[in-house]
Amino acid sequence: MMSGRLMKEYRELQKEASQCSDPDIVLTPSENNFTSWRGRIKGPAGTPFENGHFMLDIMIPSSYPMSPPNIRFATKIFHPNVHAKTGEICLDILKTAWSPAWTLQSTCRAIIVLLSHPEADSPLNCDAGNLIRAGDARGFGSVARMYTMLYASK
C-alpha cells in the first residue's frame, strides 16, 4: 500500500516527466511495489561523472516521509562518499539531517550535488578520499572518469 505522500510525489513525477522538466533525474516505482523504486541520475557537467547515467536502488520505509529512504548506487562509481562494494551513500540528509520536506526527487538532486562536491574528510571509499585529501585531483578525476566510462555509459 502506498502512502498519500508517496502517491502525491508519484503524480508530480509523472506530470514532470510528461513536460520533460528534469532530464537529470528519472524515478520509477517497481511495478507492483511502491516501497521499491529505481532512480537514474545524470552525472553533473564539469565533473568526472559527466555523461554518466547512474542507477540508484531506493527502498522506502513504512515510516516515510518521517524517515529517509534508503538509497544506494546500483552503478559502480568511484567517489569518496560512496561505498565501493555496497553503493551506500554518505550524505547527512539520508541519515541524521533528514526532514519530511525532502522528496525523492530533491534527495536525488542532493546526490547529484554530492557528486560535484565530494566530502573527502569522512570517506566511505578511502582510496577516493585519500586522493582528494592528498591534493591529487587529477588522479581522482582520472579514476572517476574511467569508472564512469566503464560502468555508467549508455
In the chain, where do the E strands start and end?
25-30, 33-42, 53-59, 70-73
Residue 46 clears pLDDT 90, i.e. is over it: yes
* Residues 6 or more apart in contact with residue 122 via CB below 8 angstroms: 81, 90
What mean pLDDT comes out for the span 134-151?
Answer: 97
CA 35 to chain centroid: 17
Provide the pLDDT confidence category of residue 76 given band limits of 50, 70 and 90: very high
pTM of the predicted model as reported, rounded to 2 decimal places: 0.91
Q: Which residues are catalytic?
A: 90
CB atoms within 10 A of CB 134: 11
Provide the pLDDT confidence category of residue 8 given band limits of 50, 70 and 90: confident
Going along the chain from its start, the domains and CATH numbers come out as 4-151 (3.10.110.10)
Return the bridge partners of 88, or none: 72
Residue 2 clears pLDDT 70, i.e. is over it: no
- State residue 34's pLDDT score: 84
C-alpha cell at 122: 569522512
Cα separation, 67 vs 46, whole angstroms: 33
What mean pLDDT comes out for the span 76-101?
Answer: 96
Cα separation, 7 vs 60, whole angstroms: 12
